[in-house]
Structure 1
């Protein structure tokens, strides 16, 4: 007969069980991301099949410098950081409400990434934008001029989205050489991501909410631009951009309330 030993800490914590639970959470999170990406890819391919069912030439690929292509490429990168932040919160946070928000964002944005990847693959373009971010929007935000961003249909102050010169970025780069600035409006810097990874419990919950609020706010102008028929002719691109904006407007209101309930304030938009 063997005796089973369990390592416990001074507070009676079962460290082995804690490690198993953490590993299980990480595995489930990874499986959720993969599943959402596959669903998004399937939806994108379904749209392609519907568009081409009657006439194989019914849809021509948009131009490489079009808003449709630029939106898909840049929003994939923007969403990828949102997915990463949500994954970190699910691993390190403890607040059930915040973790639920993180899971919703992770699954929704992974799905949307899959859809946009399917468009770019079908159109024959790379998944990574070879040009400086947001040049497809055709205004001062892309050039780094100190001017106000376009209205995003939300009452919040979105600040100056152009406080760094994106034209200084090398082709295909998301970040000016030798700097640690946000690659696009609302996105976290490397230092901010490192800090989020280092936090645990309530501190992780609050900082995740602060970063995600700013992340959502920074992405709204791109969504609004891509939802405009005057700038994007592909209706399925406009539809997804519109759905993204509606979702993020709602989540912004919820996150602001959650921060207020926890006695925390929003971060200024970078």
Structure 2
């Protein structure tokens, strides 16, 4: 079957699954190598470590889906390059987080409401608006994703940038919480890296949106 006929979500799932498999193999091989303490992933995670890895994986998966679409469809080469960077970075981060969950013998996704692990800060158990049901902050609804898939040309570029900017900024509090409160150094470091890289990308997207005569979406 050609890639043009393969559903986008299937292609994203296959790519992510391959990343996770490679990372798990790397983790097994890494047992023979001395790993720096700030990169070592202990086997006694707290609910924050587990919840961050589970929910941020889900949050990232939607970003990868949108970025994959933009990499293939965006009219502007600058938008395609940004989409490639986001897809590559977040797919790799999903692989790390899912690898940790496997090592911890934890499910890939949380069974309860999203962000329950942040409950003590007042951010837990978020249920987003729209028809998506249980969406975490910044995530696009089913209707918004369907509309994006129907757009083309400069109109697609602008809407992708607006959705991705909101997505990045919506996930920032979760990354900040993980960076401050996760018990495992490798989890804290990854969350802090997400904050830094996504802040830079968000600033770029704000400029790109303004250059195209549009404005950011309201926070969700």
Higher relative contact order (CA 8 A, sep 6+): 2
Higher Rg of the two aligned structures: 1
Q: Which sections of structure 1, spanning at least 5 residues, go unmatched?
A: 1-19, 145-165, 167-174
Q: Does 1:115 align with 2:65?
A: no
Gaps of 5+ in 2: none
Q: Tell me which residue corresponds to 2:213.
A: 263
Are the equivalent residues in 2 in contact too, given 1:33–1:106 (CA < 8 A)?
no
- RMSD, matched Cα: 3.1
**Aligned mates of 1:109, 1:31 — CA distance in 2:** 13
**Aligned residue pair count:** 209
Alignment counterpart, residue 186 of structure 2, candidates 232, 236, 253 = 236
1:234 deviates by 0.2
The one of 173, 177, 184 aligned to 2:136: 184
Q: Counterpart of 2:124 in 1: which secondary structure?
A: helix
| Alpha-carbon offset, residue 131 of structure 1 | 1.2
Partner of 1:142: helix, strand, or coil? coil
Tell me, yes or no, if structure 1 residue 101 matches structure 2 residue 112. no
SS class of match (1:68) = helix
Q: 2: CA distance between counterparts of 1:51 and 1:245?
A: 28
Q: Pick the structure with more helix per residue.
A: 2
Number of the residue aligned with 2:58: 77
Corresponding residue SS for 2:123: helix
1:59 to 32, 42, 52: 42
Residue 188 of structure 1: SS of its match in structure 2?
A: coil
Please tell me whether the aligned partners of residues 36 and 111 of structure 1 are also in contact (alpha carbons under 8 angstroms).
Answer: no
Q: Does 1:129 align with 2:110?
A: yes
CA-CA distance at 1:201 after TM superposition: 1.2
Cα deviation code 1:118-172 (max 9, x no counterpart): 000000000011110011012322255xxxxxxxxxxxxxxxxxxxxx3xxxxxx
TM-score using structure 1 length:
0.69
CA distances 1:156-205 after superposition (whole Å, capped 9, x unpaired): xxxxxxxxxx3xxxxxxxx79x9435600000000000001111111111
Task: Name the structure 2 match of 1:252.
Answer: 202
**Alignment match of 1:222 (pick from 174, 179, 191):** 174
Alpha-carbon contact 1:40-1:113 (below 8 Å) kept:
no
Gap change, CA 1:46 and 1:222, over 3 Å in 2: farther
Distance 2:22 2:186 in 1: 13
